[in-house]
Structure 1
């Protein structure tokens, strides 16, 4: 029925027909009031101990474990946190409701720079100096800060509807966790994978620590650029040409010429030790013929550079030039140059060799690459690759430490270090501002006629994601884990297995583990594989105070003490007192015991926080009996390919021979409605707290599950309103079902005895059951939510329920059609509510307990499987054609309704012309007036008159409108010819008279 008025309202005085209808009756409110209702549900769940009940229900079931990637405990949640935690909650709830014990244990990352930085900010605001505070007092302040935010974030996560073990989460700062992290570090130390080395690392002068790739973001930055000349001096260890068989006349022509390099970091010139070139590039010798600049090159100066870049380079230098000849690779191979700062403060007397490098191109610059192994990964790798050859050429391959922790030049940069006039030059100051290093280097290059040109360039440059300040690459002593050392099968006992076709290195183990891991989406596999294949050795050390220390002892050469008794004392102390024990007075003597009189030194660096989080599988999954190792799933944002996924992979492979996870799922980031990054400056930030306060957590969750989270998501007022509208339609449908099922007696009708319409709905439930289960297995929540919402709006509200309202409201209680419809509504409700429960936990709990007040919780239920015999593809195919005809009829009726010819479809009795015989037979096989919700309907052959109503996409179907003839039933409002045929009830149809007779027999018929 499609009327807007209540049936039965127009009745004779003798009978109150409105009381004889089975109209919906429910206390389930139309308005959800989620902001107020949701906290009440959380309190009820706490009161009944829902988490404990879930664990009891899961006893004996197979475990499904999603291991939580720990957020930092250092502030309120943002929308990305909400996205992440809701996705995790949907996963764990869906597996719990499908026969698993799916326990969710939340965790927090409590160490590291994000928290330490906050405490330092507080110190700076008070004018305090961190270094004047005892280290363990400072660490306690960090601990207290983290514990506060764990509490705040716990409440915010729970307000999102996330269910888990929030009473006993894992915290990386718990004593057992710190001991576990230290134990994992000692495994690397004892197996020979840990070593002290010297490499250029990303260094934050502002934060005074090395940074991992995951702690770096890129922003536009304006840099000084220079073209510098390195005078050619010859070949060999002395710079003389020697007897190497080359054409002397050609070689002599290069004497007096200079190789030109280009760089955006002039401050790295003191660290230059080589120039890289490529055999794939064509080079030439060029002579300056005229100069328009106010420094440097004069006519007669000769330079070697790539032919493809010569014109651009000389234009930058404001020089006119002529090419003298091509320069062959053989001339450059083995050549050495003079350092452009030679003689400054008595330094830079060494030769600068030319070395071949695969990374050199002629896309930009000069075709020669300035190589400072102290200040770049590619520079370092190229230097190390050539180290043996260079030593044979008599080149000193020592890598200098030219810049210190604070960004000042050291004594390894003569003329710019602490002994220089004016003191040490500085690259970056402690505020992240550019220092005077570039200017002083450029000044000295000009003084030596070795600056060819200078300029400025705006380009993408690495910044710390915390301080938002530029970083530098600098060579520092750090602790590393070998990526390519043979591990000899270490850690493969039972957990992993060696692959005879691979080397047993950490890199090869990790690459093998990536092959064995399921990635959602699959593109994540290639991304992580590329990172592992190309990454350098793993840097573990940080020069900070708040974290788990690298709790090892070394001799003066960096060799690690390998003593199980010492390790046992360390871990015992950590379990009892936490990692603070390492920094306590007398710690060295306590841990070394009888070896305290030996020359062993305590390492004071702490572990990179990514090692902490990468070790969570060891002290959480392996130690808790309610979890298991490896995890079934790790789920985080796509940035964690270089973060948590990455460090967990390396930690697991290094100690156990495999990844600590079987599957990895990644989601994108949240943008505003226009696809822009959310930022305070743009004023486009949407916080989960705002959304929850205004609309409720279930609205936020509906947006998440209906979005394609594999890519960046968009969120704003319009998108939220769209989800509010979808939620309202869903809620109203659930409310109608609850009201209708108030009349349900639990009677059943055999499927074979049901009308086709009911069997069609059962078929659709069987189809949806498969979509839902496969969707949850594939973590494809968008497909599930879209399929269910479409089912609610298109197939239930606008089709099945609309058709069946007449039967459900008006049919006699004994009617098979009505009983079958009630049974199907019951089946739909049970499935729809449980299917949606992982996604919309508050609303579906409210709906379930409205229907089943004696139930404990919908979240303790299981998904109802589709019963055998429900699936009927032939029936579905048949009704697909029938519904085409129905669309044409409904379109014709809607046209008359808009024209106000009719107010209700029951006022119509249309004629439907169907040209196709087969389609006509299908339409005639059902009560088409019933499914079109008209009082009557005729079907005739043929195309129909030209002025009949048609739809362009349904061929051969035309509808001619006619008003219904006859009397209107006072109970159902149908206009039929049998009203008055029953003498006992002269104002109703025969169907309604039979219903009234049954109701009278049941004592339900009332009179005025």
Structure 2
């Protein structure tokens, strides 16, 4: 025996795994090499060529803003999109991803002003001069181009594949022409109008803002209770005061009415004692909502008594004097009381100060009561008390020049001056301060104001030619759209139901202009020839053509007198730009289609891109530009807190890729509940690194084992049961994977495949089959079957995972198939229907249940060092349950348990036997195997030396050596 051992190195007679696929991934170094390879081979064009003629699946990319490096939110978003497009591409579709960018808008203007002018001490050019405007816009364009290139490279480093050589850009000339064309369609249909309404206005940015451009932050406001003296109406209220409460004292000069509610109970109260330095004196009579009187009097440090009820009939027809009457020679008008549905007695006084210049509800109430106000001989004109810089105008007599908010977003002197005037007029009941949520610009992070100003709007409720309105069209489109998760439908519906008319105009320079002409009455010129000249010029020269010298005369042509028409110089809200991307991308590119199958963005886009795209498309086409809307949450730190530079808890995708690799970041995305807010930090990244290593090692072992594969196909009927079981599992997983990709449930897929790799492959099937794969003879059906099945598993796993982990699966595929072009040109590996075998799966579920008890018993033996490995054992297994025991009929159960022997007994077993609580009918008594250890397979058998030519190996191993032609 020793002579033979000296002559044969048995390790060289085994089919041990052989592969160049490294255990250590080195993703930060390997991934850029693969990106370069894909770019050099032009993988994108190869994908398009391979998919030619297939049914199209289109995910339309919501455009990020071309300003700054990408952050973790960008990474999450683009990875999700990439997984979706890849998964459909690999399932028989032409799934083309075209990236896009939002290029216009204020942030870029700010950067140009800061970097090109303020930082250099230069004055901003006069943009009313055509050449200066066009030069400024050129600088904005160049800035956007720079960041598009940078972000495009960062997206590709994440593994994103798409048409990065030909993305869509809202600043492309054709795009600007199409955006303008959409505006002109809306104007032509009568949906566009110029109106004066209170809109959110950024003093800092000097422009109107849409709802989507506003976020709410804590803000401390001055609060005041103001007395309005009753001058006419109910005799019961003679000499009384109506008291209002507001958090915006600066809006008092704009007050024109007081709103009350016929549903609220009011009372007339009299002051009996006063402890304050200003305000009501004993004997004054004041009207409050009953629920709020006590709180209000306490605030003013007053004692009081209730005199009588005040009914809605008492309040109807009442007029008051303005509390600032006599200040600056103004405010001599009457202030009517108006019934308003928005009034409650939850807070304040039960009366709402109504300044139609400064609030939407105020404006709506004022307009709704227009005829009543006229009938009471009260002026209905809405004033313009505050200008674009936040300064009071002549419509705020006595306060001209005072400022609400300054250029830095700080409070001006308007509140203090108004409060001082109210005190001097004996009109202030009380004052205080309140911290509350207040609207801020999402760009400047500074508070905004509501300001009445002429703007361009799209009607939400005007009846159109087909009998619908934009609102009803949009709501019907929502009903026809699939939402993932489903809650997104209700969220978007609520926003559409409640939203006011769409304000389109911005008072800035960098964007697509509202390219219409208006006459003195504000009527829009409706001339198809003029419109076509505008669109042709934009297509050839870009929207700069609107601002060029002589543009007005050029576009009006000889048909219209330039003196009778004004050229609108406002630009479009950038949300209109992005809401129009479906036109010049989905409609105009032959490699795409309209409508898109999917729009996917963060949940904030219910008020952003989903919203504006829906309105724009509904206004021009009567339906949404998408069939499905998918939303993802936001990424928090590991504690669930918002990431911020000041907290030092920001995780950048660049750092993750540098340290761990893009596939680690992608695995994190795939294993999160992306519909909700997710968490990310060092511990979570390490968790994904560990999961990735296990998965990679499973793939590596398959590659090493398949180095010995000859490509033989074994008929399903000839396969051993264990191999049939694994094919059954592939069939089950194939269904789960395909349904999961259809449902965009990536975590379900990732979790199933990781568990399959770790639990069913590495810890079970591969472990069981290693002996046969390494030691069996070349002709062994068991070995050939295992190789065939592992080949099927490899092909399925790598193609299923390729959309999720494109770098690793590309590396694995090319390692297995060196002559292949790319795994991403493959389809998901085919799975035969006959592989499904539920009865076999149920049988093996029982076998594995029994095996779990054996494994548990042997683990204790190893821990206590009574055995070194399971091959030293030959346990006795007691199976009391006949059904369980029947599953073992015909099985080499020692092979399944990786022992050198095993005995199965039909009894409950001795009391001292090992048991698992969850498997009460199985007991195990560990025993050592009898025989001699095979020098080749290390199994302990009684037939070692039975072949005299190979005296130190088992009969099975001797036969294998002979077949391999290895002689002692």
Measured against the shorter chain, the TM-score band is over 0.9
Shift of 1:11: 7.1
2:385 counterpart residue number: 402
Match of 1:624 among 586, 589, 593: 589
Distance 2:122 2:244 in 1: 46
Q: Does the 8 Å contact 1:11/1:970 carry over to 2?
A: no
Distance 1:866 1:737 in 2: 18
Larger mean Cα displacement after TM superposition, 375-384 or 144-153 = 375-384
1:48 counterpart residue number: 41
Encode CA deviations 1:137-164: one digit per residue, 9 max, x unaligned. Answer: 1111110100000000010000000000
Match of 1:577 among 530, 541, 560: 541
1:79 counterpart = 2:72 = yes
Match of 1:768 among 721, 733, 741: 733
1:412 counterpart residue number: 395
Distance 1:597 1:674, change over 3 A: closer
1:447 counterpart residue number: 424
1:870 counterpart residue number: 835
Q: Does the 8 Å contact 2:212/2:607 carry over to 1?
A: yes
Shift of 1:923: 2.8
Query: Where do residues 644-663 of structure 1 align in structure 2 (5 Å cutoff)?
Result: 644-663=609-628
Aligned-partner SS, 2:456: strand
- 5+ residue gaps, structure 1, are 1-7, 236-250, 418-423, 490-502
Match of 1:68 among 61, 71, 88: 61
For the aligned residue pairs, the C-alpha RMSD in angstroms reads: 1.3
Distance 1:55 1:655 in 2: 31
Aligned-partner SS, 2:538: helix
Match of 1:229 among 217, 227, 230: 227
Q: Does the 8 Å contact 1:885/1:923 carry over to 2?
A: no
1:496 counterpart residue number: none
1:210 counterpart residue number: 208
Distance 1:356 1:902 in 2: 89
Q: Does the 8 Å contact 1:19/1:1006 carry over to 2?
A: no
1:188 counterpart residue number: 186
1:813 counterpart = 2:806 = no
Q: Does the 8 Å contact 1:317/1:452 carry over to 2?
A: yes
Query: Where do residues 479-494 of structure 1 align in structure 2 (5 Å cutoff)?
Result: 479-489=456-466
1:29 counterpart residue number: 22
Encode CA deviations 1:834-884: one digit per residue, 9 max, x unaligned. Answer: 000000000000000100111110000001232021111111111111111
Distance 1:58 1:902 in 2: 57
Distance 1:934 1:78 in 2: 53
Shift of 1:252: 2.6
Distance 1:515 1:131 in 2: 49
Aligned-partner SS, 1:994: helix
2:244 counterpart residue number: 261
Query: Where do residues 981-1000 of structure 1 align in structure 2 (5 Å cutoff)?
Result: 981-1000=946-965
* Aligned residue pairs, count: 962
Encode CA deviations 1:605-648: one digit per residue, 9 max, x unaligned. Answer: 00000000000111111111111111111110010110011111
Q: Does the 8 Å contact 2:552/2:562 carry over to 1?
A: no
- 5+ residue gaps, structure 2, are none
1:377 counterpart residue number: 360
Distance 1:918 1:188 in 2: 73
Q: Does the 8 Å contact 1:848/1:858 carry over to 2?
A: yes
Distance 1:112 1:971 in 2: 73
Shift of 1:374: 1.0
2:118 counterpart residue number: 124
1:933 counterpart residue number: 898
Q: Does the 8 Å contact 1:16/1:1006 carry over to 2?
A: no
2:440 counterpart residue number: 463
Match of 1:789 among 741, 754, 778: 754
Shift of 1:29: 0.5
Aligned-partner SS, 2:398: coil
Shift of 1:388: 2.3
1:248 counterpart residue number: none
Shift of 1:234: 1.8
1:668 counterpart = 2:633 = yes
2:12 counterpart residue number: 19
1:316 counterpart = 2:299 = yes
Q: Does the 8 Å contact 1:11/1:971 carry over to 2?
A: no
Encode CA deviations 1:682-712: one digit per residue, 9 max, x unaligned. Answer: 1100000000000000000000011110000
1:749 counterpart residue number: 714
Shift of 1:135: 1.1
Shift of 1:578: 0.7
Distance 1:398 1:759 in 2: 83
Aligned-partner SS, 1:950: strand
1:386 counterpart = 2:350 = no
Encode CA deviations 1:256-292: one digit per residue, 9 max, x unaligned. Answer: 1111111100001111111111111111001111111
Shift of 1:726: 0.6
Q: Does the 8 Å contact 1:11/1:17 carry over to 2?
A: no
Shift of 1:973: 0.4
Task: Using structure 2 for the length normalisation, give the TM-score.
Answer: 0.98
1:603 counterpart = 2:580 = no
Distance 2:52 2:846 in 1: 48
Aligned-partner SS, 2:7: coil
Distance 1:400 1:127 in 2: 38
1:539 counterpart residue number: 503
Q: Does the 8 Å contact 2:894/2:902 carry over to 1?
A: yes
After TM superposition, which residue ranges in structure 1, 4 or more long, deviate above 6 angstroms?
A: 8-11
Distance 1:910 1:646 in 2: 67
Shift of 1:816: 1.0
Aligned-partner SS, 1:138: helix
1:704 counterpart = 2:669 = yes
Distance 2:849 2:175 in 1: 63
Query: Where do residues 838-857 of structure 1 align in structure 2 (5 Å cutoff)?
Result: 838-857=803-822
Match of 2:167 among 162, 169, 186: 169
2:468 counterpart residue number: 504
1:142 counterpart residue number: 140
Larger mean Cα displacement after TM superposition, 210-219 or 786-795 = 210-219
Match of 1:680 among 635, 645, 653: 645
Distance 1:487 1:253, change over 3 A: closer
Match of 2:402 among 412, 425, 445: 425
1:271 counterpart residue number: 254
Q: Does the 8 Å contact 1:10/1:970 carry over to 2?
A: no
Shift of 1:129: 2.5
Shift of 1:355: 1.2
Q: Does the 8 Å contact 2:459/2:470 carry over to 1?
A: yes
Distance 2:372 2:941 in 1: 103
Shift of 1:953: 1.4
1:151 counterpart residue number: 149
Aligned-partner SS, 2:56: coil
Distance 1:813 1:985 in 2: 18
1:890 counterpart = 2:855 = yes
Distance 1:255 1:184 in 2: 57
Distance 1:440 1:905, change over 3 A: same
Task: Using structure 1 for the length normalisation, give the TM-score.
Answer: 0.94
Aligned-partner SS, 1:939: strand
Q: Does the 8 Å contact 1:79/1:688 carry over to 2?
A: yes
Shift of 1:10: 12
Match of 2:266 among 280, 283, 287: 283
Encode CA deviations 1:984-1003: one digit per residue, 9 max, x unaligned. Answer: 21211111111111111xxx
2:95 counterpart residue number: 102
Q: Does the 8 Å contact 2:268/2:288 carry over to 1?
A: yes
1:521 counterpart residue number: 485
2:413 counterpart residue number: 436
Distance 1:27 1:698 in 2: 20
Encode CA deviations 1:762-805: one digit per residue, 9 max, x unaligned. Answer: 01000000000000001111100010000000100001001000
